[in-house]
Chains A and B, each alone.
Chain A
């Protein structure tokens, strides 16, 4: 995640990350070993469950990063920039995205929350 879905992301890197995540998920479910038993209080099972969740969450993050063809805030796509400044695409991506996990091999569903600004005019932030 750090390498391919970090501060700066590229389409190539994100696609690779999707493949890597698939492998990771497979090896996790094949090789995971949880000590203790199900019938007792088991913090190790809790930890394993969290790792499984993180794999799903990571995949959704990568999919979202791949889907959003612009640079905005903490999401900096190397392909979309003006000399190192983030290049936003407000016409196509003016929404907050929530992805719904639909299963391992199913496409996740995108839920959009449109961002409506009543009192301010949208403009590019300048740090110069």
Chain B
């Protein structure tokens, strides 16, 4: 929506529209909270898994069939958690501060803030880096979620595999394009 280049009108309108859906007023907060919560749960799990092997191998040579990003979900997840904190600090927290507890419609100029924040090359590179982590994280996570819920079926595995790849390419790519476009002045 930001690529309409209409000074953020469409962006803000859609944002308002999304938040004005009857049951959606706190959806953003909830899903953000869910992300934090699940990351913390996963970190606890990661700790448990590390504790399951108190003495490490002196020499390790993991089989090629187990992918590095599958083995590094803990690291990727932690990077994403840090990214999530930075992201919240940039947009969500200032917005909530403005809105207070009750005034849901009184938002700060998120679009303006975005243009402002993404002028800093350091912030842009953090966002791009975060999205790259997100790509690898989702590449494992999407498929893995189905397996953990017991969905592993020769008929549907291919579909899940491709949907997972598409999902993990499209979502981080779109997220990464926002700061990049703004930084290079494609959006103003």
Instruction: Answer whether A and B touch in the complex at a CB cut-off of 8 Å.
Output: no
Instruction: Spell out A's residues near B (CB within 8 Å).
Output: none
